[in-house]
Structure 1
Amino acid sequence: MSFLIINASPRKNKNCHQAVEQIKDIFDGNSVDYKILNIWDMNIEYCNACGYCNQNGICHIKDDMKDLYKEFDLSKGTIVVSPVYFDCIPAKLKSLIDRTQAFYASKYILKKPSIDRNKHRMGFFISVGGSKVYKTQFLASQIVVDFFYKSINTKLIDNLYISNTDEVEIKDNEKALEDIKKISIRLIKEVGL
């Protein structure tokens, strides 16, 4: 597997889906392997801070995260496409990110990483806001996602913030489509595919 593309929106065929489709088309056109994770269709429980991973380096919860831990480790990178909910990411994405505490615990508490820390992985983040741009629209999302990329040992090469999608959908926003294309191509080149 090459890349994981996380679609963090529950809305089918809307703006995040349109951004994912643009990435998919670029990857298909460049023969890049990928897997799309529509996380709202997945069973991902909340982290309950039980401390199991602090002692064992893995999470004890049996759900779809069990396979995702392996996929993050095997991937060449991860792309997150997320809507903005109250200046941050949706709860489902936050749950996925919180569950990567198992990687953090294995690396920093137990000093026995459960993810290959020497593997060269790269990714980027697309945050989609329906309203017109305002100063803090993407701030909280970015802070959380920065920690996520560190947890999964992936270099975050770029962030793309797309505002005003309630009025202009991504599929009709030539600048947004071009920016997605540029970042996707850059990602392909930087990982050497």
Structure 2
Amino acid sequence: MNKQNKVLIVNGSPRRSKNCSKIIENITKKLEENKINYEVLNIYKMDIDYCTACGYCERTGKCVIKDDMTPLYEDFDKSIGTIVVSPMFFQSISTKVKTLVDRTQVFYSSKYILKKPSIDVKKERRGMFIAVGGQPKYENQFLGGQLVMDLFFKCINTKLISNVYMSNSDEVPFDENKVFQEELNGAVINYIKEINDLM
């Protein structure tokens, strides 16, 4: 598959056919209608090991761990955008998404420590973060995940243009949440416009 100008969609949920999966189905349908190339990364099915802060990337600009994360470095580099869809675990992103984020330390080290970026810093990319919280809406419900995502999108040199939050999913799932569906639809339409402007 051509890796150039592809939107990467990170499915950060371990649950099948639940809210995150249905949100992604909604997004991919709209991408297909607009003939935008994409790939869904079901990371809970991937072998992505934890960053151990060994310092190897600070010396070499590469990760010493060889697993399913290894080809994703090129995927992020060649991509035109990334969408992360994650449930909230203890007021942050899911465990596997955090593992993925930590492994992008490679990009951080190459850019800011070695001053030799391993990702094309001149290429424009667009990002979107979608988080699903089980509890009813409350202040700062998504702040923990947002802070991590802000750093993640900076590491992968992608401009984060939209954050979409769904609360109370335990009581009102995506299929029944018409207000959130409308909000998501508007965000996706805007995202597609931004992607088309880059093509």
TM-score, length basis structure 2: 0.95
Give the residue type in structure 2 aligned to 1:71: D
Give the residue type in structure 1 aligned to 2:48: I
What is aligned with 1:90?
Answer: 94
Q: Could you tell me how far apart the structure 1 residues matched to 2:175 and 2:34 are?
A: 21
Q: Could you tell me how far apart the structure 2 residues matched to 1:52 and 1:16 are?
A: 34
Structure 2 residue 167 is the aligned partner of structure 1 residue 163: yes
Q: Could you tell me how far apart the structure 2 residues matched to 1:136 and 1:156 are?
A: 19
Give the residue type in structure 1 aligned to 2:172: V
Q: Could you tell me how far apart the structure 2 residues matched to 1:51 and 1:161 are?
A: 35
Q: Which stretch shifts more, 177-186 or 160-169? A: 177-186
RMSD: 0.9
Unaligned runs of at least 5 residues, structure 2: none
Residue 166 of structure 1: SS of its match in structure 2? Answer: coil
Structure 2 residue 136 is the aligned partner of structure 1 residue 140: no
* Residue correspondences, number: 193
Displacement of 1:20 in angstroms is 0.6
What is aligned with 1:153?
Answer: 157
What is aligned with 1:29?
Answer: 33
Give the residue type in structure 2 aligned to 1:91: T
Match of 2:65 among 61, 76, 79: 61
Is the contact between residue 22 and residue 177 of structure 1 (CA under 8 Å) also seen in structure 2?
no
Q: Percent identity?
A: 53
Residue 161 of structure 1: SS of its match in structure 2? Answer: strand
Structure 2 residue 50 is the aligned partner of structure 1 residue 50: no
Q: Could you tell me how far apart the structure 2 residues matched to 1:18 and 1:168 are?
A: 13
Match of 1:99 among 93, 100, 103: 103
Q: Which stretch shifts more, 172-181 or 82-91? A: 172-181
Q: Could you tell me how far apart the structure 2 residues matched to 1:39 and 1:110 are?
A: 29
TM-score, length basis structure 1: 0.98
Q: Could you tell me how far apart the structure 1 residues matched to 2:86 and 2:133 are?
A: 9
Q: Could you tell me how far apart the structure 2 residues matched to 1:67 and 1:28 are?
A: 24
After the TM superposition, which segments of 4 or more aligned residues of structure 1 sit over 3 Å from their partners? none
Displacement of 1:136 in angstroms is 2.4
Residue 114 of structure 1: SS of its match in structure 2? Answer: coil
